[in-house]
Copies of this chain bind each other. A is one copy, B any other.
Amino acid sequence: MNKQSYLAAAEQHCLHRGCKLTALRRHILELVLEYDGVVKAYQVLADLQRERGVAAPPTVYRALDFLVEQGLLHKVDALNGFVVCSHFECNHHGLILVCEQCGRVEEIDASQFLGALKEVTEAVGFESREQNLLLTGLCKACHA
């Protein structure tokens, strides 16, 4: 999926969810899309500052938080970063694989696995928040 159709789909996605992908939010999503893999809030902020002269952290964080809430991005706690979700349409739980060597990021759908995991946690009375799991390791290219 190219960026333009991604953005169009994202816009529709938000509409269906009863909120709006405003110009600012859309633009910040575009900035994130420019990167491969994990993106930091302050990288986006720097991009925005380069464009507009001034921009403050809340501007970026609000938009990023919105995008996470809509499922367009995933937060990667372990790296203080964000990754684009390429299949936000389906109701999935992501499993984010980060290569320790080359930094490449891959998200695979592990709904089945995570669903089973949820059952286990519920068995001990724990209500796990919907979240993404992050695993570090070596990607296909690097461990070959």
Q: List the interface of chain A (C-beta within 8 A of B).
A: 77-78, 95, 97, 99-100, 106, 108, 110, 113, 116-117, 120-121, 124-129, 131, 133-140, 143
Contact = CB atoms under 8 A, between A and B. Distances in A.
B110 A117 contact: yes
B117 A113 contact: yes
A118 to B, nearest CB: 9
A128 B135 contact: yes
Given A113-B116, A124-B97, A124-B106, A136 B131 contact: yes
14 contacts: A77-B77, A77-B134, A95-B120, A97-B128, A106-B126, A113-B117, A116-B116, A117-B133, A126-B140, A127-B143, A128-B135, A128-B136, A129-B137, A129-B138
Contacts of A106: 124, 126
A131 B127 CA distance: 22
Contacts of A139: 125-127
A117 B114 CA distance: 9
A138 B133 CA distance: 17
